[in-house]
């Protein structure tokens, strides 16, 4: 939760000067909600924002920056913070004082953690807990079963969250360490792909909200599983679109074609189109930015239905790594040798065209070998 930074001061010996009386708790606040909050936080409300900042030994300004970065709402001077809030402030400030993080980086840590866990928490409450807390017997209310369910689930979910985070941290650290030099640790050469459901806007006008939600969830779940299984990284989902990245072009190509093939076999899914580009990408807070990302997005918007378009740099990378022939003529000539290479993909050059904001680009149609591609 965020705070306002207008707290009162303290005298030289550390005693807090008189401050405005804390706002009283909302008399209409649900007692069960307060009990549930105490269970989840593991501590009772003890501090106003000013008191929490003083107890943590940080300025109100820095405390406000941290809380706002974590995405919590303003609470004025209500006594709503706990010992855990004080400890979190103290830890972040301690990392800054020790020189392990700059203040700006500590704020980024707070923001990235807050944004990621906020989405997770919303999903767990909206989908997971709602289903589990359906009253098991007539006459019981959901509130009567919520507390014991949360009490049982909380320690298990916490352990699982820490486990997954450590696994993801290890995987991410491994990718960074394998980078060729220090510059690649921030600005890396990656394959970036967008997969987009065709005609999704029209679907939103025809489908019921529940049906639409199920379709989006199925699309996101299937895409996430395919990307992970093939060694890519799901960057984010945008309802009708997913953005993924891969360290090499071959992996990104395999993911794109699998996505198209899988969705094509599902009669409930609209057609899919995918655009991929290869090049330098800037990574920040788990997201990717730069011209390469913009180009992948533009290629997706012009891709035919159930097809994959790639940029020339991506095509060159597939050719360089031996995943695709430079041309069908070259592939046929090589087959005359004793051990012809086995190509996984085919590339068909398309008409050059202007792309808004990026000038003229040369898209290539990506297919599997034997699918009829690459015969232009």
Q: Mind listing the pLDDT tens digit for each residue in 210-233?
A: 778 788 888 888 999 999 899 899
243 DSSP β-pair partners: 194, 236
pLDDT per position as a tens digit, 61-118: 899 889 988 988 778 888 899 999 999 999 999 999 999 999 988 998 898 888 888 8
CA 274 to each of CA 196, 207, 267, 270: distance values in angstroms, whole numbers, following the listed order: 6, 24, 19, 13
Residue 258 neighbours by CB under 8 Å, 6+ apart: 226, 230
How sure is the predictor about 331, in pLDDT bands with cuts at 50, 70 and 90? low
277 DSSP β-pair partners: 192
Bigger pLDDT: 52 or 32? 52
How sure is the predictor about 180, in pLDDT bands with cuts at 50, 70 and 90? low
Around Cβ 357, how many Cβ atoms within 10 Å? 9
The reported pLDDT for the residue numbered 221 is 87
Q: Is the pLDDT of residue 245 over 80?
A: yes
For residue 365, the 8-state DSSP code is: E
DSSP states along 154-211: HHHHHHHHHHHHHHHHHHHHHHHHTSSSTGGGTEEEEEEEEEEETTHHHHHHHS-HHH
Whole-angstrom Cα distance, residue 267 to residue 211? 14
With 0.75 as the threshold, say if the pTM is over it. no
The reported pLDDT for the residue numbered 240 is 86
* Of 150, 365, 187, 208, nearest in space to 279 by CA: 187
Residue 345, classed as helix, strand or coil, is: strand
Which is it for strands 307-310 and 364-368: parallel, antiparallel or unpaired? antiparallel
The reported pLDDT for the residue numbered 337 is 53
The reported pLDDT for the residue numbered 368 is 93
SS (H, E, C) 277-321: EEEEEEEECCEEECHHHHHHHHHHHHCCCCEEEECHHHHHHHHHC
The reported pLDDT for the residue numbered 287 is 82
Give mean pLDDT, residues 46-63.
92
The reported pLDDT for the residue numbered 21 is 39
Bigger pLDDT: 119 or 344? 344
């Amino acid at each position: 939760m965020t705070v306002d930074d207008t707290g009162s001061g303290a005298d030289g010996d550390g005693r807090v000067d008189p401050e405005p009386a804390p706002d009283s708790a909302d008399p209409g606040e649900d007692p069960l909600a307060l009990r549930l909050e105490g269970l989840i936080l593991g501590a009772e409300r003890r501090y106003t924002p000013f008191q929490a900042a003083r107890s943590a030994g940080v300025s109100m300004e820095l405390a406000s920056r941290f809380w706002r970065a974590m995405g919590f709402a303003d609470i004025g001077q209500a006594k709503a913070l706990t010992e855990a809030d004080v400890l979190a402030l103290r830890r972040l400030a301690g990392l800054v004082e020790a020189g392990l993080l700059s203040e700006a980086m500590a704020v980024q840590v707070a923001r990235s953690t807050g944004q990621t866990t906020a989405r997770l928490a919303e999903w767990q409450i909206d989908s997971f807990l709602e289903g589990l807390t359906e009253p098991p017997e007539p006459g019981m209310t959901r509130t009567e079963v919520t507390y014991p369910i949360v009490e049982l689930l909380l320690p298990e979910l916490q352990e699982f969250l820490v486990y997954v985070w450590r696994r993801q941290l290890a995987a991410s650290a491994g990718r960074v360490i394998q980078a060729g030099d220090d510059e690649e640790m921030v600005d890396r050469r990656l394959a970036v792909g967008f997969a987009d459901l065709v005609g999704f806007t029209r679907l939103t006008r025809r489908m019921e909200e529940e049906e639409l939600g199920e379709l989006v969830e199925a699309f996101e779940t299937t895409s996430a599983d395919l990307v992970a299984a093939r060694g890519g990284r799901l960057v984010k989902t945008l309802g009708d679109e997913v953005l993924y990245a891969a360290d090499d072009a071959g992996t990104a190509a395999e993911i794109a074609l699998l996505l198209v093939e899988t969705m094509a076999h599902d009669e409930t899914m609209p057609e899919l189109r995918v655009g991929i580009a290869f090049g330098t990408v800037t990574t920040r807070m788990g997201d990717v930015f730069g011209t390469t990302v913009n180009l992948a997005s533009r290629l997706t918007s012009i891709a035919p239905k159930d097809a994959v378009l790639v940029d020339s740099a991506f095509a060159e990378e597939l050719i360089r790594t031996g995943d695709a022939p430079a041309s069908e003529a070259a592939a046929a000539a090589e087959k005359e040798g004793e051990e012809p290479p086995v190509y996984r993909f085919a590339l068909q050059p398309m008409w050059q065209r202007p792309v808004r904001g990026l000038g003229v680009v040369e898209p290539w149609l990506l297919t599997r070998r034997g699918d009829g591609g690459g015969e232009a």
